[in-house]
Chain A
Amino acid sequence: QKEVEQNSGPLSVPEGAIASLNCTYSDRGSQSFFWYRQYSGKSPELIMFIYSNGDKEDGRFTAQLNKASQYVSLLIRDSQPSDSATYLCAVNPTGNQFYFGTGTSLTVIP
């Protein structure tokens, strides 16, 4: 079983819609959760992190964490074509360990 699982997609949404990206993780003791965006041919860039159960909002992005269900998601409101990228979920179970999912490819259609 992989430590972090994401639906690889591709996920297509129309411009202006809400994009919902999901991630599950296997280590129940995980403490920190991150979302990275990676444009084609570029390096990953950190867009959100969350440590506590519930929602965390930053502009058009909302991260949601449910530790009981071992589930973290990213919502992108008012999706724009510039949001088209691969979104990587990353989990820090303990100490030095840090695992990435394989990413979900998002396409926002104008």
Chain B
Amino acid sequence: DTAVSQTPKYLVTQMGNDKSIKCEQNLGHDTMYWYKQDSKKFLKIMFSYNNKELIINETVPNRFSPKSPDKAHLNLHINSLELGDSAVYFCASSQDMGNPGYTFGSGTRLTVV
């Protein structure tokens, strides 16, 4: 059983489109995250949800909106995609905010053309 699963694995889309990435964890963790990894391998946190409440909202454009229907799911919706949004997006989870040993999903490689 995959602990943190995200779909799709690859996403190629045109500029201006709207897309969503889904994430689910079956670990019973309280906290879920979205990270963006650029071409230089730099991982930067975008959002954190603790038990369905937004805890961190780093300075990302408001075209990005996280949605958490329950503590096992954290989806990422992106409006009006831009070329600079091309990256690998990782979902992750941890037991709670005080225990940031993460389990990462396998990543979604987003390419905007």
Contacts and interface: CB of A to CB of B under 8 A. Distances in A.
Interface of A: 32, 34, 36, 38, 42-46, 49, 86, 88, 90, 92, 95-98, 100, 102-103
B44 to A, nearest CB: 8
Size category, B interface: 10 to 19
The prevalent SS among residues of A at the interface is strand
Contacts, number: 42
Contacts of B104: 43-45
B107 interface: yes
B68 to A, nearest CB: 16
B25 interface: no
Nearest to A91: B100
Interface in B40-80: 40-45, 48, 55-56
Contact of A95 (B45, B97, B101, B107): B97
